[in-house]
């Protein structure tokens, strides 16, 4: 499938004919930082560098806005609760074509770009793959000249900053805005009122009975804009983030009475909405705050979208021709009801007219196959917090069920299954159902995932709406995930295919014949080893663990969750440890196993897995009988900037989720693009990666999705595997007996019980033998560095399908019907 084409834009050199970089840096140091070189700190030089690059971003940004106003194109609005954009300085300099000039300019002042970049904190606007995907999409939309805007929340604090103390995850505030954010622009003139609570009253009009939401409490949403520059283009798109502000600073009466806390109570309560990413929802107040967050950013975004539309247009029938809104997961699904509220209650359109427009505007991306992960909210909470929107949802549901009953008469069970209101679990609003009913297209994010959506999770909806469900396989931006994080490999590829592959990743296939070239393989290996040395140095700095870069670097970095099966990886580590201690693995391939990722604060079992990893590491790493044959590392506070070290430094990519549970994954794509071989199940995008790289260049193990279902249907008994496999039994007994937790022998009894007494829901024991055998094959192949390098090069060469440019091209053509804007 081809991407929409836009005319290539000639990008003139940024600095030529303007202030040279060293002079620009000194100017900003003085006039923006009020510092001289004598007293400047590394952070001052970072700020000056950011201002220099930002100046050129702004110039293009303004021209982009002007071009959009002049051309009045259809605009894409991407609503997401997360945007993991990472550090901006190096990425912006790269995309604008001035990274080398910036580096040289800093060198003339005795500074290094890499150290300057380290001063920038990661923007704490997301947690995992959902936010990283959104960031890649923004990059691709800008690079492909598609008029796109991201909408989200300007979190004052991230989810948390992770440290590992005594083997346990410790959550600290992630105060990423402590030194301000040079890359954001506050827009105090762009504010919208967002309402909560209150009640609904009905009143007569000449057009019938209407509803009015009254007596609400409100908060102000203020816009902050972050520029998103495209690569090799003059386009700079916008990420608009909302910050919650109180409608009044404080109550002067309470202040004058000396009750200072009461005076600012309302302000603090209002601004809590944008305070922290994903507040813990284990309490009623936490759940209320999460729903507030979702509605807050959605309402402000919809109001802003309609404001932009009405600035140019008065005919509401043009709305679907000028607006495409993509819902990234269910977090922004309330947008369907909010758009109806804005059109019907605020703009006074008739219900049927408004609904016909809404269902042509929205599209929904699903990111999960697990029913328990689909977001729902209690009707009681909804009726209290958003009473008008609950009424709108009831009406949408009533008309939807009427339509379903007309086409499937008498099937009451079907009506119950597809209803937006779940009556079987304490009356809850099913946000995925609202998103499906209110959208013209629903997409999965990998071929397997999309098919399973139609066959299982949303089987009924696929019958009701044939053709509504499609696939758009995820992708990653090669700018950050190759060009920026692996510059030496980028240079090597460029010597073969030229520089254009950063915008057209299909060109990378031209390195494939060189996989058979011994000299090319040698250079490729040297680059990989250099990346591993860089990663090893970083790990030693963070953890004190010294690594041998000639070992196999076996890496699993992702959110900690039982279905992602970090625990299966740990079972393999312990198995290797036992073999080494028993003398059965004299010729074992030296291996470094690296974990990274955060566990949600309220997810106890995930935190136990983190603790087990670190307890095992404490034993393995200090055992003199093991030495460098096996090392285990937990990389703390995994984030985008850490990933830029980890992906290039990986030899083996662990993608080992239970088949049928992972929607797609994007870490699998980033590692393969950086020359790692994948060990994985046939799950998510692993299926398509296997199709692209070839069966011989990936390590597949374990049950397939149908086999998982069959195994469970036949009465899966984990005890059978425990008794039949001596190595597995030994490993589990060590965990249960306290071998890795002598001071607290029953610390991991719950893990043992989950696997054996509670049914091993994610089938770790069923896949254990296959996983171990496949890992043995990995170790054997790694001994043959020539063959390993050949297969790794083929992985890199065959990854063009997984560019987010291809992904965005499919969205633009098949869902948004949006065209690039050619710049003169």
C-alpha 686/C-alpha 679 separation (Å) is 9
Q: Which of 388, 428, 503, 564 is catalytic?
A: 564
Active site residue 287: no
CB atoms within 10 A of CB 546: 12
Record the tokens describing residue 807, joined without a space.
């992904």
- Phi, psi (5° rounding) for residue 192? -140, 145
Q: Which of 479, 558, 561, 631 is catalytic?
A: 558
Strand partners, 165: 168
- Phi, psi (5° rounding) for residue 588? -60, 145
Active site residue 666: yes
42's CB contacts (< 8 A; 6+ apart) are 115, 116, 118, 119
CB atoms within 10 A of CB 822: 13
State how beta strands 217-229 and 441-444 pair. unpaired
C-alpha 446/C-alpha 470 separation (Å) is 10
Active site residue 546: no
**Contact at 8 Å (CB) between 501 and 508?**
yes
Helices (H), 215-283: 252-256, 260-263, 265-271
What is the C-alpha end-to-end distance of the chain, expressed in Å?
Answer: 27
Active site residue 559: yes
Three-state secondary-structure class, residue 314: coil
C-alpha 633/C-alpha 492 separation (Å) is 30
The HSE-up count of residue 553 (CA atoms within 13 Å, CB side) is: 27
Least Cα distance to 83 among 246, 282, 242, 221 occurs for 242
User: CA dihedral defined by 460, 463, 465, 471, rounded to 10 degrees?
Assistant: 80
User: For the chain, what's the residue count?
Assistant: 824
21's CB contacts (< 8 A; 6+ apart) are 15, 52, 98, 101, 102, 104, 105, 106
Q: Which of 367, 388, 480, 598 is catalytic?
A: 367
465-494 burial: b if 16+ Cβ within 10 Å, else e: beebbbbbbbbbbbbbbbbbbbeebbebbe
C-alpha 183/C-alpha 192 separation (Å) is 22
Q: Which of 559, 561, 565, 631 is catalytic?
A: 559
State how beta strands 148-153 and 236-245 pair. parallel
**Contact at 8 Å (CB) between 415 and 405?**
yes
C-alpha 324/C-alpha 345 separation (Å) is 22
Least Cα distance to 57 among 235, 263, 295 occurs for 235
Helices (H), 408-466: 412-418, 431-438, 447-452, 459-464
Q: Which of 28, 56, 521, 670 is catalytic?
A: 670
Q: Which of 661, 666, 681, 705 is catalytic?
A: 666
Least Cα distance to 221 among 248, 197, 238, 246 occurs for 246
State how beta strands 699-700 and 185-196 pair. unpaired
Q: Which helix (H) or strand (E) holds 554?
A: strand 552-557
63's CB contacts (< 8 A; 6+ apart) are 234, 823
Active site residue 245: no
Three-state secondary-structure class, residue 213: strand
Least Cα distance to 116 among 92, 89, 144, 83 occurs for 89
Q: What is the DSSP letter of 244?
A: E
Strand partners, 204: 209
* Residues annotated as part of the active site: 367, 558-559, 564, 666, 670
């Amino acid at each position: 499938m081809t991407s929409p084409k836009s005319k290539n834009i000639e990008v003139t050199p940024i600095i030529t004919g303007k202030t040279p970089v060293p002079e620009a840096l000194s100017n900003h140091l003085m006039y923006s930082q009020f510092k001289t070189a004598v007293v400047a700190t590394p952070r001052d030089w970072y700020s000056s560098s950011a201002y220099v690059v930002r100046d050129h971003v702004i110039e293009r940004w303004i021209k982009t806005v002007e071009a959009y106003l002049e051309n009045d194109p259809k605009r894409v609005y991407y609503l997401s609760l997360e945007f993991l954009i990472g550090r901006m300085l190096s990425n912006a300099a790269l995309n604008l074509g001035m990274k080398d000039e910036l580096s040289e300019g800093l060198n003339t002042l005795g500074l290094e770009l890499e150290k300057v970049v380290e001063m920038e904190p990661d923007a704490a606007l997301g947690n995992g793959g959902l936010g990283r995907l959104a960031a890649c999409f923004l990059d691709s939309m800008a690079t492909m000249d598609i008029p796109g805007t991201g909408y989200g929340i300007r979190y004052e604090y991230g989810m948390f900053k992770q440290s590992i103390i005594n083997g346990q995850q410790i959550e600290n505030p992630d105060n990423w805005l402590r030194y301000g954010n040079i890359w954001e622009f506050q827009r105090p003139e762009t504010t919208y009122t967002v309402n909560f609570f209150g009640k609904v009253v009905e009143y007569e009009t000449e057009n019938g009975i209407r509803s009015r939401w009254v007596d609400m409490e409100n908060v102000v949403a203020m816009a902050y804009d972050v520029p998103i520059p495209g690569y090799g283009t003059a386009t700079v798109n916008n990420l608009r983030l909302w910050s919650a502000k109180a409608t009044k600073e404080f109550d002067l009466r309470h202040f004058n009475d000396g009750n200072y806390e009461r005076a600012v109570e309302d302000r603090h309560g209002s601004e809590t909405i944008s305070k922290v990413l994903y507040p813990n929802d284990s309490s009623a107040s936490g759940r209320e705050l999460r729903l507030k967050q979702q509605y807050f950013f959605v309402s402000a975004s919809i109001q802003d979208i309609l404001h932009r539309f009405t600035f140019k247009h008065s005919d509401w029938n043009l709305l679907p021709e000028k607006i495409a809104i993509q819902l990234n997961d269910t977090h922004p699904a309330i947008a369907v009801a909010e758009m109806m509220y804005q059109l019907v209650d605020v703009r006074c359109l008739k219900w049927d007219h408004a609904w016909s427009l809404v269902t042509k505007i929205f599209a929904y991306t699903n990111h999960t196959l697990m029913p328990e992960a689909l977001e729902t909210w209690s009707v009681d909470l909804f009726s209290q917090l958003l009473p008008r929107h609950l009424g709108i949802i009831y009406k949408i549901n009533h008309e939807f069920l009427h339509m379903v009953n007309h086409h499937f008469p008498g099937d009451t069970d079907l009506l119950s299954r597809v209803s937006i209101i779940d009556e079987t679990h304490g009356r809850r609003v099913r946000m995925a159902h609202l998103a499906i009913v209110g959208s013209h297209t629903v997409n999965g994010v990998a071929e397997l995932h999309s098919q399973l959506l139609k066959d299982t999770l949303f089987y009924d909806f696929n019958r009701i709406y044939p053709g509504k469900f499609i696939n758009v396989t995820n992708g990653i931006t090669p700018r950050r995930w190759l060009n920026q994080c692996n510059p030496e490999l980028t240079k090597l590829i460029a010597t073969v295919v030229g520089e254009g592959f950063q915008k057209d990743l299909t060109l990378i296939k031209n390195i494939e014949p060189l996989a058979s070239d011994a000299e090319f393989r040698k250079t490729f290996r040297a680059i990989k080893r250099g990346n591993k040395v860089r990663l090893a140095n970083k790990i030693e700095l963070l953890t004190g663990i010294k690594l041998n870069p000639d070992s196999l670097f076996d890496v699993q970095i992702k959110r900690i969750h039982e279905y992602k099966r970090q625990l299966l990886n740990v079972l393999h580590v312990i198995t290797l440890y036992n073999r080494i201690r028993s003398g059965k693995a004299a010729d074992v391939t030296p291996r470094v196993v690296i974990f990274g990722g955060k566990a949600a604060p309220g997810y106890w079992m995930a935190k136990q897995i983190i603790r087990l990893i670190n307890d095992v590491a404490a034993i393995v790493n200090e055992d003199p009988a093991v030495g460098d044959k096996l090392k285990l590392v937990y990389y703390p506070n995994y984030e985008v900037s850490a990933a830029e070290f980890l992906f290039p430094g990986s030899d083996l990519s662990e993608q080992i989720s239970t088949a049928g549970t992972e929607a797609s994954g994007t870490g699998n794509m980033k590692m393969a693009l950086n020359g790692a071989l994948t060990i994985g199940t046939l799950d998510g995008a692993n299926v398509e990666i296997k199709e692209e790289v070839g069966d011989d260049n990936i390590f597949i193990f374990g049950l397939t999705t149908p086999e998982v279902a069959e195994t469970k249907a036949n009465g899966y008994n984990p005890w059978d595997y425990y008794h039949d496999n001596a190595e597995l039994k030994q490993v589990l007994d060590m965990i249960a007996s306290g071998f890795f937790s002598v001071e607290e022998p029953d610390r991991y009894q719950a893990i043992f019980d989950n696997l054996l007494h509670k049914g091993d829901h994610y089938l770790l024991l069923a896949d254990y033998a296959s996983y171990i055998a496949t890992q043995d094959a990995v170790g054997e192949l790694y001994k043959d560095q020539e063959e390993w390098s050949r297969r790794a090069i083929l992985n890199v060469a065959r990854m063009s399908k997984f560019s987010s440019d291809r992904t965005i091209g499919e969205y633009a053509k098949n869902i948004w019907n949006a065209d690039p804007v050619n710049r003169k």
